[in-house]
Structure 1
Amino acid sequence: MYSTRFLGRKISVLLILILVVSSVNFIPSKIFAQNEPIIQSDSAILIDAKTGAVLYEKNIHKRQFPASITKIMTALLAVENGNLDDIITFSYEAVHSIEYGSSHIGMREGEQITLRDALHGMLLMSANEVSNAIAEYIDGSIEKFAEHMTDRAKEIGAYHTNFVNPHGLHNENHYTTAYDMALIAREALKYDTFREIIGTATYIIPPTNLVDEPRYLSHQHRLFNQKAYANSYYEGCIGGKTGFTNEASHTLVTYAERNGIELIVVTLKSEKQAMYDDTRNLLDYGFDHFEMVTILNKKSPVVSVPVVSIINDKKEYQGSIEVYAEEDFTCLIPKGIQKDNIIKRVSIPSELQTPIHKNQLAGTLDLIFQNKIIGQVNLITGDSIEMLQPVSSSNVDKTTYNFENQNKYLRIVIMIVSTIVILLVLFGILIIMINSSKRKKRRRYMSRSKLKFTKDIQKR
């Protein structure tokens, strides 16, 4: 049996689970705030780089051509699968399969550079032949690499994206959405190597085996490269990628950071100046109307969960254990909103079974704001609990056994004696009652006899 307090805890846990599960019926596309900007681009999105929460959206699931922002996906696969110091050799196909007049840095067939140099050439100058060479280095061919790109995109959650090349030159089957592109851009930003390269304003590729002169590279993103575009620079911009084809129009991915807040903006199918204006307005909107708030502290327990051991196919309760967030959780919410408005949805078993180890994964917790999941954290146990051991009859102490037997016999004797005493008492009471009744009858008889005697004398 377990205590009333323990039962109360178990009931509390079940109530919490029922309440939080029933609190969310649907998930809209974004977190709402006031004074949304007017955007000219056909598709646009603003997300929190940390949690992926959508802060602004416009046609974010509409199919669009990405153009050269495709190269963020190419860079992601290169960082994940390549070695920056490896040497890349440019093939005939890599150099000559790109469209005449498209972006390049003049690489030659048979020329060699490191993967590090190649990534700078691709991301800063949008070099298409370099994208091809990276694809061949990673997967052996452009076609296999394109399949790799699409598969990896779907792993990230970019389900409405299909890539057929590593550079983004137009193809009707090469498409994405603003939402998908934001997911890809966010995934790439998790890698320090990508951050470093995308945040490099200028770079020099040294002379190669075929070219004696160094190649000077300069970042083409106007909100980032302050030296080249002083009038367009945006305070806090940490990098990005431009794109253009006639069919795609202008596309842009931008990263920015202020006061610990990191934002990502994607604009698709836009005019050149409009995409920069839209991006600037969206970043201002994000920084001005949202704030970072700590929702969970890993040192504070989230909930208590009942603990059981299974002994001889029966549950033996061992009290409860507290579970904690695996890490602190902070997120962006509209300024002025109380963090108590964020719902915590716990997904955890109704009870945990021993043995339990400290920091063991116990479940997950979703954080929900305005019916949208804005983050998820793992829940871990705060302590260790060993399994109860079954008691074997061969291990029972004989003295205890004999003592228990003696107690049993003593109880029997006491019960018998008590019964006899009770019966004797009852018998004695019965005798007393009988004698008392006899005395009363005798007194009545004597009284009647005396009265009769007196009457007889009077008659005489």
Structure 2
Amino acid sequence: MHFSHYRGKNFSFLIVLFFYFGFVLYTPSKIFAQNTPVIQSDSAILMDAKTGTILYEKNIHKKQYPASITKIMTALLAIENGNLEDTITFSKNAVYSIEYGSSHIGMQEGEQITLKDALYGMFLMSANEVSNGIAEYIDGSIENFAEHMTKRAEELGAQNTNFVNPHGLHDENHYTTAYDMALIAKEALKYDVFREIIGTITYTIPPTNIVDEPRYLANQHKLFNNKAYPELYYEGCEGGKTGFTNEARHTLVTYAKRDDLELIVVVLKSEKQAMYDDTRNLLDYGFNNFKMVSILQQDLPIGKIPIISEENEQKKYQNIIEAYPETDFSCVLPKNSSSKDIIKKISIPEEIITPIDENQIIGTLDFIFQNKIIGSVNLIAGQSIETFNTFSKSTIENNTNTTTYGNRFFRILIMILSILVILCIVFFVLFLINTYLSKLQY
């Protein structure tokens, strides 16, 4: 964080004044409850979709083959970099470079569909040739797109991921982790079109320039598609993506929401029934044991911070400025906890010197739960303050909330208390002397 007008001397008294709030650049935290489920999959993670808080983990940083859940990253890049109404023309390489017998919807060389239709074909039916077509449309080649995928993953904090294709067919150099996939899945949820796609049970791609018949698609996620798999449907499931190769085994990403809590489950290297059982158990664990709690609202100030004005390199009178959180802040807590269990810690420079711009970052607020920082928010200035010359001395002195008067009152109070303590000691000593002399007379 950059503070352009901070200089430093001890301002410890200021820290004492602030027994309020906190959060900066967010790093996913971990919060656990009792009765954690037993998971069969080799790797698994349960993450809150809004804050990134980790609610369950098992081998979350172990490198695994993702199989077709790779397509979540492909969809993310397509949504971020493409136009849904653009037309994709499928090349020979896109159609014929996939493994024989792997998932496809029968696209032909030279055939054209919109990017929107391609996303549905890729996501609902896990069509590998469609993934290739999207990659070539976005970056010109599958190789360039794969590099783009890996770079974007790194930007999201996925440091143990490397993609070499847009579909997830096996390659020893194509791998990820449960944690990395959860980060990618969390980012994709920011886009309404992605939510629309994962929330679709059936979709029809109309006839094309080559194929006269429509293509009928159906969502393959058994916890979501209550029409095809009513006995497996999970209440609140918003969709997700399945994956399978012999080397990766079964992989699954699932989104589910109940009330204000939205969860992401990723399971890797699982078996077909186990991946659904594990996902269901993790979602039950999340919804039964955790809740979303609102802590801060962006439009409400959290307190007043003293400001130093400077003239000719001399520090002058102090003023105050109201600090606001840069964003709203909510967090996930165990259901038997409350916001009162969160410790709020403010972090600001030792001195904040004018001029200050409105919305300039002037500190951070950290929230601590179970001895861990579970989030942070930047603190910003509620108004602009120019140099010292824009303020009259009388205006500053009339403000009874200034730190100048606060410090003066504090020093006077300490002085009075010190005098009282000394007087008490003197009287006590005199009392002892008088008692001792009285005994000698007898």
Q: TM-score scaled by structure 1?
A: 0.78
Match of 2:109 in 1: 109
Q: Distance in 2 between matches of 1:100 and 1:209?
A: 25
Match of 1:33 in 2: 33
Aligned pair in 2 of structure 1 residues 18, 343: CA closer, same or farther (>3 Å)?
A: closer
- After TM superposition, the structure 1 stretch with the greater mean CA deviation from structure 2, 294-303 or 104-113, is 294-303
Q: Distance in 1 between matches of 2:390 and 2:237?
A: 64
Aligned-residue offset at 1:121: 0.4
- After TM superposition, the structure 1 stretch with the greater mean CA deviation from structure 2, 349-358 or 316-325, is 349-358
- After TM superposition, the structure 1 stretch with the greater mean CA deviation from structure 2, 131-140 or 373-382, is 373-382
Q: Distance in 2 between matches of 1:145 and 1:310?
A: 53
Match of 1:210 in 2: 210
- After TM superposition, the structure 1 stretch with the greater mean CA deviation from structure 2, 289-298 or 66-75, is 289-298
- For 1:285-324, list aligned pairs within 5 A: 285-324=285-324
Q: Secondary structure, in 3 states, of the residue corresponding to 1:33? A: coil
Q: Distance in 2 between matches of 1:105 and 1:200?
A: 17
Q: Distance in 1 between matches of 2:17 and 2:250?
A: 49
Runs of 5+ unmatched residues, structure 1: 1-8, 22-26, 392-460
Q: Distance in 2 between matches of 1:79 and 1:142?
A: 17
Match of 1:431 in 2: none
Report which of the two structures shows the higher radius of gyration computed on alpha carbons: 1
Q: Distance in 2 between matches of 1:80 and 1:372?
A: 34
Aligned-residue offset at 1:309: 2.0
Aligned pair in 2 of structure 1 residues 205, 286: CA closer, same or farther (>3 Å)?
A: same
Q: Secondary structure, in 3 states, of the residue corresponding to 1:352? A: coil
Aligned pair in 2 of structure 1 residues 376, 95: CA closer, same or farther (>3 Å)?
A: same
Q: Secondary structure, in 3 states, of the residue corresponding to 1:353? A: coil
Q: Distance in 2 between matches of 1:115 and 1:74?
A: 12
2:306–2:320 contact (8 Å) kept in structure 1: yes
Q: Distance in 1 between matches of 2:18 and 2:93?
A: 58
- For 1:51-90, list aligned pairs within 5 A: 51-90=51-90
1:306–1:350 contact (8 Å) kept in structure 2: no
Q: Distance in 2 between matches of 1:17 and 1:74?
A: 46
Q: Secondary structure, in 3 states, of the residue corresponding to 2:227? A: coil
Match of 1:184 in 2: 184
Q: Does 1:143 align with 2:143?
A: yes
Q: Distance in 1 between matches of 2:146 and 2:90?
A: 18
Q: Distance in 2 between matches of 1:76 and 1:28?
A: 20
Aligned pair in 2 of structure 1 residues 210, 279: CA closer, same or farther (>3 Å)?
A: same
Aligned-residue offset at 1:369: 2.0
Q: Distance in 2 between matches of 1:43 and 1:17?
A: 42
2:66–2:168 contact (8 Å) kept in structure 1: yes
2:261–2:292 contact (8 Å) kept in structure 1: yes
- After TM superposition, the structure 1 stretch with the greater mean CA deviation from structure 2, 327-336 or 243-252, is 327-336
Match of 1:13 in 2: 14
Letter in 2 for 1:85: E
Match of 2:260 in 1: 260
- For 1:20-419, list aligned pairs within 5 A: 30-389=30-389
1:124–1:220 contact (8 Å) kept in structure 2: yes
Runs of 5+ unmatched residues, structure 2: 1-9, 392-442
Name whichever structure is richer in helix by fraction.
Answer: 1
Aligned pair in 2 of structure 1 residues 390, 152: CA closer, same or farther (>3 Å)?
A: closer
Aligned-residue offset at 1:315: 1.5
1:305–1:351 contact (8 Å) kept in structure 2: no
Aligned-residue offset at 1:11: 4.0
Letter in 2 for 1:307: I
Aligned residues: 378
Aligned pair in 2 of structure 1 residues 209, 378: CA closer, same or farther (>3 Å)?
A: same
- After TM superposition, the structure 1 stretch with the greater mean CA deviation from structure 2, 314-323 or 255-264, is 314-323
Q: Distance in 1 between matches of 2:203 and 2:304?
A: 55
Aligned-residue offset at 1:28: 9.9
Q: Please give the per-residue CA displacement for 1:142-189, whole angstroms capped at 9, x wherever unaligned.
A: 001000000000000000000000000000000000000000000111
Q: Distance in 2 between matches of 1:154 and 1:141?
A: 20
Q: Please give the per-residue CA displacement for 1:224-258, whole angstroms capped at 9, x wherever unaligned.
A: 11111111110100110000000000000000000
Q: CA RMSD in A?
A: 2.2
Q: Distance in 1 between matches of 2:92 and 2:100?
A: 15
Q: Please give the per-residue CA displacement for 1:350-376, whole angstroms capped at 9, x wherever unaligned.
A: 332223333333233232322333322
